A and B are shown apart, each in its own frame.
Chain A
Amino acid sequence: MDFLHVITVFFIRARLCVKHLKHNCMNKKSVLLVLVLISLVILAGCGEEAKDDYGDVSFNLVDQNGEEVNFPDDFRGKPLVLGFIYTHCPDICSLITANLYKTWIELDKPEDIHFVIVTFDPERDTPEVLKDYAADFSMDQPPFRFLTGPKEEVAAFMERVRVRNQVSDIHKTAEGEEMYFLDHTDKILLIDHNSRLVMDYGGSMTPTNIIIEDLEKL
């Protein structure tokens, strides 16, 4: 909007200049500034086309029913809304999970969009744990898939999609077991039917209407 404002002021001043036939009303600096701004916006617009391309990667994961899933091969042909969570996180991660569900509901339960959640804590989030977790959100049903996998495979996948996590706190449970919590990237991705990254959202706080608007453009 700032840019629009600058452009508007520029044209109003330009018109006034013509009207009053003044030579000094617009200095060379402001003309230059506007030209630089225009080119910057055009350049930024070009970069928006594809933020990343997952077309040539391959990760073998498994869903909450124990079925093998390949990213991105199994999701080609339809847009994919992809969230990242761990199930020991009932606060922020619940918002990410619920955002996918809300998007699906608000779009009137579309069948031509994939909705997928991947854990970055595969050691604890087994398919069985993910199945319980999905059920708690009424999401243990198509089109939702909750993915985990071998530790190294999940770590490599998270690195490729730029989701970081690290142990933040170790807790003792009532039985004296150790339980860890994680600091992690808060993210939802929108990937198109050709496995190209279209959008990168702050996962938990993203209003679903923004995701829906972007989905409708695809």
Chain B
Amino acid sequence: MTQLYLITGINLLITLVLITLLSGCEPGEETGDRSSSVDGNGISIEGAWARPGSMGRMSAGYFLVTNFEDEPDTLKGVYSNVAQLTEIHESYEQEEGMVGMREVSEVVIQPNSTVSFEPGGLHVMFIQLTEALAENEDFELTLHFSNAGDVVLEIPVRN
């Protein structure tokens, strides 16, 4: 009798552990309803957006880039038709509350990891817009990776 109780107890324990593990997995899979475009070559871009900007002025674009391959990939360049110059930039902070930004020649995305282009950090810089970027419109941005090749994004404009 006692042995039966023991076995039932172990079964219950295993069931509980399994339930915990399974339920634990669920929230991790949720990535929200971000716009995403996945390329066949193991590079995924999520949550892209850019600031509105008037003709001749500036804008900045942001996204999350994930490399699902087992080798590093490198973002080598960015291209668009909406600006005279489209560059990879990085904002930085110095001592005494001074800030600035500079061009970055490339960004390495390590295997199975995500690099975030976000306000105050890495951004795609659109210099001297050749057309106005109005809120709720979209435009095309091409990201060139050394392994994955060209990834074309539709970027929504918003603040």
- Residues of A contacting B98 with CB < 8 Å? 164, 183-186
A175 nearest in chain B by CB position: B84
Q: 8 Å CB contacts to A: which residues of B136-159?
A: 159
A-B CB pair tally, cutoff 8 Å: 93
Contact present for A181 and B51 (CB under 8 Å) = no
Which residues of chain B come closer than 8 Å to A138, judged between CB atoms? Answer: 159
| B128: interface (CB < 8 Å) | yes
Q: Chain A 178-208, CB within 8 Å of chain B: the 1/0 string?
A: 0101111111000000000000001011000
Within 8 A of A (CB), among B50-101: 51-54, 57-60, 84-85, 89, 91, 93-94, 96-101
CA distance in complex: A169, B89 (Å): 12
With A171-B127, A184-B99, A185-B98 in contact, is A92–B120 under 8 Å at CB? Answer: yes
Task: Flag whether A88 is at the interface (Cβ < 8 A).
Answer: yes
Chain B residues whose CB sits within 8 angstroms of the CB of A186 once the complex forms: 93, 97-99
The residues of A that contact B9 with a CB separation of less than 8 Å are none
Q: Which chain B positions have C-beta within 8 A of A173?
A: 84-85, 127-128
B54/A89 in contact, CB under 8 A = no
Interface residue total, chain B, C-beta cutoff 8 A: 30
- Give Cα A101–Cα B51 distance, bound, in whole angstroms: 15
A197, chain B: closest CB distance, angstroms: 15
Q: Does B57 lie within 8 Å of A205, measured CB to CB? A: no
**Residue A137, interface by CB 8 Å:** yes
How many residues belonging to A are interface residues under a CB distance threshold of 8 Å? 35
**CB <8 Å contact, A89 and B58:** yes
Residues on A facing B (Cβ under 8 Å): 87-92, 94-95, 98, 101, 129, 132-133, 135-138, 164, 168-169, 171, 173-175, 179, 181-187, 202, 204-205
Which chain B residues border A182 with CB–CB below 8 Å? 100
Q: List 12 A-B contacts (CB under 8 A).
A: A91-B89, A91-B101, A91-B120, A129-B57, A136-B51, A168-B100, A169-B103, A182-B100, A183-B94, A185-B96, A186-B98, A205-B120
Q: Which residues of A contact B57 (CB under 8 A)?
A: 87, 129, 132-133, 136
Contact A174 B93 (CB under 8 A): no
Q: Is A183 within 8 A of B128, CB to CB?
A: no
Task: Decide if B101 touches A89 in the complex (CB within 8 Å).
Answer: yes
A95 with B120: CB separation less than 8 A: yes
Provide the B93-127 mask, 1 if CB < 8 A to any CB of A, else 0: 11011111111000000000000000110010111
